[in-house]
Structure 1
């Protein structure tokens, strides 16, 4: 039976999500000419991080309580991250084979141009890659904080009266993440969404500690750049 308190709480978390998602997408419409993509990336992530932190503080939630805490077993955490990385690579290979045969979705603009997040892969400028890698890792960690920890937690609370709330939260956050990377239904948005589902499952399954997914995410972006 759904009580009046449950309905009030759900409405509160729905309002939080509307505010958060509106800020997430509206800030990305801000155009800053002649600005490095890492600067704009930190602007986007930093703004949504502030919004998420504010919403969490209003409800007495901390980043530590939803995953940003020291892992109990560091070697095991690294091992899990490695397995997660391999799983994602395998999933992408399978998806690419299926996409090549059936052309389920259109090719993304980034893939057509040979770029990832604004960087031309084919130019071989590895000195440049290593000069920015630490910033790419920080950005990767911020995405895991926001997409996995915050969104999944808030979506679960929104759907708290449903038995399958966690599965629904994982799927929705993955779809938002995929769309945010491409703003269309394309090869890139679908592949990113699939990664988001795997990351979301790993976050929940392995004790809601963010470090395995952060490490795997950093490894993926490092491989993409190199």
Structure 2
């Protein structure tokens, strides 16, 4: 199962779905539209015609809310299936998405597709990931090479738990990592291609409020005396 949370998607969503269909015809794609406007009706209709399940939130609630809506749907309608979450803007190569899918199927553990941040990487992305990595290690004692990756795999038995993790916007993905460490859930990592399009201009992340949402749970966990540390394994 592939889960794509989208907000105001363009043609890149259709391109991603077509590439996935060509590479993995049996994959089932669930798209969660986070309250997009009329301009996105065409791409959403196109991926529905390609066989995707398209769910819609009536108003923009944030990436975390969209992911949890998708997890609940998959747990109810496709029980027993692992889920790979990916950003739908062309940032992730299909080969990398399928690599994470194979890894989570074999390991039955949370798997992160981590970028090397080599070559032409926007400064804000390079600096932001380095800073959150340092803060994550300070808060948990664990080394996550790419805390902000949107390419993640989850085994089927994690879906109910994922729906209980707090956060509706960009902080949700950080909360998943922090709560996984606290719960003692193993986290595996596998390398993926570092790819940015137009200086990462397709990302909806970037405001000061988004940064505060991400860093606040890190600081909260760093000050929590009850933090329990779980294992983090690294694959090549």
User: Which TM-score tier does this pair reach, normalised by the shorter chain?
Assistant: under 0.3
- Determine which structure has the larger strand proportion and give its number: 2
- Determine which structure has the larger helix proportion and give its number: 1
Normalization by structure 1: what TM-score?
A: 0.27
Which fold has the larger relative contact order, with Cα–Cα distance below 8 Å and residues 6 or more apart in sequence? Answer: 1
Normalization by structure 2: what TM-score?
A: 0.26
